[in-house]
Structure 1
Amino acid sequence: MIRTATPADIPVIHALIRELAAYEKEPEEARATPEQLHEALFGEHPAAYAHIAADDTTGEPVGFALWFLSFSTWRGVHGIYLEDLYVRPAVRGSGHGKALLTELARICVARGYQRLEWSVLNWNRPAIDFYEALGARPQDEWTVYRLTDGALSKLGG
């Protein structure tokens, strides 16, 4: 079962983000607070959106997708950038990840968006295999760059 997140889901989204950061071996980088998540998802000007994967029997949240709109100057339309997709290890392989991606693809098609994009760590072979089995292809000719912390402050200061 996939549903749109509500403000009541903030604690579980926060917990899932922390679990994802631990899985990706960078728990100290997950600094977002529940208050920040609430403002980003449900504030006056939402910057992002989220969907919850829930167990079909219990309704317990077991995963989430957090995304925002991108824009392609070449295509002239929006797309979705998937910031985080996470399904708890105990239920992986049960279809929750595919259901979350299917919902985002459905939104793209319904709204005329032409891209659904995300990043995956090079060492995360299970995720890469999963994404490629769905038909996703890596954009190997692109390298992601990021400014954070001191480098960002130095450039922007």
Structure 2
Amino acid sequence: MSTIALRPATPSDVPLVLDLIRELAGYERLAHEAVATAEDMQAALFGPRPAAEVVIAECDGEPAGMALFFVTFSTFLGKPSLYLEDLYVRPDFRGRGIGRRLMTHLAALAVERGYGRFEWSVLDWNAPAIAFYRSLGARPMDEWTVQRVDGQALQALAAQATRDSRTG
């Protein structure tokens, strides 16, 4: 029987977190989008205003996976929510309950902190992940679609703020 332990990431875990992010990006066929640097992650996780938190899962003392999450806010509930950005368990450690342990840990953390929701997104082709989330009681939010502005579109939209402020 394997021993599974969860712990908060520390600054010395930044290289591990980056490795896990890159492994996840490869699995999701998005390796080309994984451009975060150690400096980016150090600032985001451990800087003056941390933007996210990470829980590391270890199996028999070996790094097996992680959950990276942050706080959002629901105006309808008037409460913060926990948003899971990345859940990843290395292939050699799958099927041992590590993903479930990470998810139940985050749910307990959300309840402990008084958050109103625990949410995440999943790629529509990732049938194993979808089945796993359904087994936890998650329900799809089919009436909502994710919208994104990034890269050049983000720069162009931001530039409009300058023009808008000049025109009143």
Give identity over the alignment, percent.
56
- Give the match for residue 109 of structure 1: 111
Distance in 2 separating the partners of 1:146 and 1:81:
16
TM (norm. structure 1) is 0.97
- 1:45 alignment partner, one of 26, 39, 49: 49
Distance in 2 separating the partners of 1:93 and 1:137:
22
Deviation, 1:79, is: 0.9
- Give the match for residue 98 of structure 1: 100
Q: Which amino acid aligns with 2:48?
A: E
Distance in 2 separating the partners of 1:64 and 1:110:
20
Gap regions ≥5 residues in structure 2: 160-168
- Number of aligned residues: 155
Report the structure number with the largest CA radius of gyration. 2
Q: Which amino acid aligns with 1:156?
A: A
- Give the match for residue 142 of structure 1: 144
TM (norm. structure 2) is 0.90
Deviation, 1:17, is: 0.3
Deviation, 1:106, is: 0.7
Deviation, 1:52, is: 0.3
- Is 2:37 the counterpart of 1:30? no
Distance in 1 separating the partners of 2:103 and 2:38:
24
CA offset digits 1:124-148 (Å, max 9, x no partner):
0000000000000010000101011
Give structure 1 regions of 4+ aligned residues with deviation exceeding 6 angstroms.
none
Gap regions ≥5 residues in structure 1: none
- Give the match for residue 63 of structure 2: 61
Q: Which amino acid aligns with 1:29?
A: E
CA offset digits 1:96-143 (Å, max 9, x no partner):
111111111111111111100000000000000000000000100001
Secondary structure, counterpart of 1:103 in structure 2 = helix
- Give the match for residue 82 of structure 2: 80
Distance in 2 separating the partners of 1:21 and 1:150:
22
Q: Which amino acid aligns with 1:87?
A: V
